[in-house]
Structure 1
């Protein structure tokens, strides 16, 4: 069984083609900086890597590029589109409608489109990926794996907002949670690695989108993103937590239109709004060169994460493991160090030398005196999605 996994983010598409007989990765890659003139496409087959830089205007063009590479007569690995049994799609928002992995039909696509207003940076791209894959792989089963599914275990006391109850009961306005595929995968990796029978884990997913999850005994019990993937931590272009009164002030006092405010909060804020840079690598370099705005933005980012660590430790009455994952979490030793600094009250102590290492595998970065394990775990949402797709098709 060969499964193609498509993971469409707000500015990138990751993909893997897996042989699920033994979970071998046949080919993998990523299209980054979508929407820019210098979009980067990386395509790996075994130890051979092909890289190109070109203008890619949108996610549809990016997906067409992925399929072109897979079918390329010289570089590709698929001779016929019918070699692919299924395409697994990461879908960010499933609302209350989808609580598990789901075969895609017209009704499912319609529902995913309905939830686009709740995840405007993601669901439209997820749906576009489904449409393109359906046309290019007409005989493959199309399957959706929802980010929100892992967070269905969050108790009502944490998922319900202090609004009139009919909004929760009738309109399902609540905390849904996101990045569930990633948080589920890395937390299970930590449990298996440390051989934990009981566990209190804080998973920190840091990429262009960022989130944190409190995970007790393998189940999500609280999460930093909410009704839509816009609050919580400071993200690449999203503001994270703000006082909602600011929105009314912008509209009623400063004359902004609601759509302008929505665009500002989702696409022009976060680290981009604070620094003018959209890539954390550029921000770190500028901070190192003395840019005060970039230095402050990094401090604000780390401070917000620290606050969530404190609140989730309180919610679980302790913490055994802290996990850093995703592109920034796995690669930014600077941000990890800033987050873990001066956390000795909670028993968190980092080993500076261990933190400097780079690896494609799980590694530990806590010091010898730390009471909490600090793990850097490369996320593998694609493998998690492929496993869920395989399980569904074999039922």
Structure 2
């Protein structure tokens, strides 16, 4: 039996999964193997999950290139003679033109390179993964799945900035990100909470990257992220929403574009606020007042953006937390929802502490769900194979 491989390059990790090709329509992809390398940096670990066990191996210093190489070597030993017939890739930025999964041809890849300045923590690594996969699996179909695609079709007021109109036509507009995660959550709601799926739902994808999406009837209406993956919520190392006057001030002080970009993408967010770490687990375990301040700001911004997304929807029927922080950090959910009873958002403290999926007791549903971006990518590969 052949296999489909998915590669999901994030800002601090590289996730991968192997699925059995030939899955019957409607049954969903059959996952054979999965894992990730994280955190990228001086102390990376390879976590490998299969039906028998979960194994963690310390691999030492690893950037994205080394991580991809390690995964490909690991797969050679684990595929057991299966041929990889397709490789599905998470591509963070697809611009305005890529609104669905596509076959990654040389022309498409060249066009995607133009978006690297808008997603410098992800897009170069995404495309490096494609290049590595093309070498490792030269006969496999390469499929790109875009984080921006789920948000195409927003109302114009949620896509534009109050800038000269010609800039919108040139592509300076709000794109939104984390679309693969939101796509999965929309499908999960449709399957398990169909009445809620038809209503007004805010989804908070909280991880090293963080954003929110306002969904109406399972479709994206608004997102906290905009032109780049910097806007909206504070993140692990990214600033989130910022007065553009700050950038003008820094330029006038003599800071160059490269140093400003480094600060905004790599030195801000939870790391910049705390001076300790970008990792929420580390901050929650710390007794340092700076860690508490960073978490306080992070959760305040979540509260603020929940209100903004509810306003874009004209009300709220449910809130879904997902992503590594959103699904697993109960204290973050507690702090983020403090004082939001007026929206019908009220936590069940015990269910929240115990990691239940259903954690609300108010008029609006509150859920904490695992996301599955790799499953969304795999299904796109199967559809592309079937269409050939």
Q: Structures share a fold, TM > 0.5?
A: yes
Task: Tell me by how many angstroms 1:51 deviates.
Answer: 1.2
On the 8 A contact 1:56/1:62 being kept in 2, the answer is no
On the 8 A contact 1:233/1:305 being kept in 2, the answer is yes
1:82-231 correspondence to structure 2 within 5 Å = 83-169=83-169, 171-196=170-195, 198-231=198-231
Task: Tell me by how many angstroms 1:17 deviates.
Answer: 0.2
Q: Which residue of 2 aligns with 1:313?
A: 310
Task: Tell me by how many angstroms 1:198 deviates.
Answer: 2.4
Q: Which residue of 1 aligns with 2:235?
A: 235
Q: Which residue of 2 aligns with 1:262?
A: 261
On the 8 A contact 1:27/1:77 being kept in 2, the answer is no
TM-score normalised per structure 2: 0.95
Task: Tell me by how many angstroms 1:35 deviates.
Answer: 2.2
Task: Tell me by how many angstroms 1:77 deviates.
Answer: 2.9
The separation in 2 between residues aligned to 1:136 and 1:392, in whole angstroms, is 20
TM-score normalised per structure 1: 0.94
The separation in 1 between residues aligned to 2:10 and 2:271, in whole angstroms, is 17
Does 1:355 pair with 2:345?
A: no
Match of residue 34, structure 1, among 28, 40, 50? 40
Task: Tell me by how many angstroms 1:190 deviates.
Answer: 1.8
Task: Tell me by how many angstroms 1:344 deviates.
Answer: 0.9
Task: Tell me by how many angstroms 1:79 deviates.
Answer: 2.4
CA RMSD of aligned residues (A): 1.2
The separation in 1 between residues aligned to 2:150 and 2:245, in whole angstroms, is 31
Task: Tell me by how many angstroms 1:5 deviates.
Answer: 0.5
Match of residue 389, structure 1, among 364, 375, 381? 381
Q: Which residue of 1 aligns with 2:59?
A: 54
Partner SS state of residue 18, structure 2: strand
Partner SS state of residue 115, structure 2: helix
Task: Tell me by how many angstroms 1:57 deviates.
Answer: 3.1
Partner SS state of residue 374, structure 1: strand
On the 8 A contact 1:187/1:201 being kept in 2, the answer is no
Does 1:79 pair with 2:81?
A: yes
Aligned length in residues: 379
Partner SS state of residue 394, structure 1: helix
1:271-290 correspondence to structure 2 within 5 Å = 271-276=270-275, 277-286=277-286, 289=287
The separation in 2 between residues aligned to 1:229 and 1:374, in whole angstroms, is 26
* Structure 2, unaligned runs of 5 or more: none
Partner SS state of residue 324, structure 2: helix
Q: Which residue of 2 aligns with 1:342?
A: 339
On the 8 A contact 1:179/1:211 being kept in 2, the answer is yes
On the 8 A contact 2:269/2:278 being kept in 1, the answer is no
Task: Tell me by how many angstroms 1:172 deviates.
Answer: 1.2
On the 8 A contact 1:182/1:381 being kept in 2, the answer is yes
CA deviation profile, 1:21-40 (whole Å, cap 9, x unmatched):
1522111000001122x101
Does 1:6 pair with 2:3?
A: no
Task: Tell me by how many angstroms 1:342 deviates.
Answer: 1.3
Match of residue 325, structure 2, among 310, 323, 328? 328
Q: Which residue of 2 aligns with 1:63?
A: 68
Partner SS state of residue 242, structure 1: coil
Partner SS state of residue 231, structure 1: coil
Q: Which residue of 1 aligns with 2:295?
A: 298
The separation in 2 between residues aligned to 1:57 and 1:353, in whole angstroms, is 39
The separation in 1 between residues aligned to 2:354 and 2:367, in whole angstroms, is 12
The separation in 2 between residues aligned to 1:349 and 1:358, in whole angstroms, is 16
CA deviation profile, 1:272-299 (whole Å, cap 9, x unmatched):
101121211101111xx2x111111111
CA deviation profile, 1:142-188 (whole Å, cap 9, x unmatched):
0000111100021111101100001012x111001100010111122
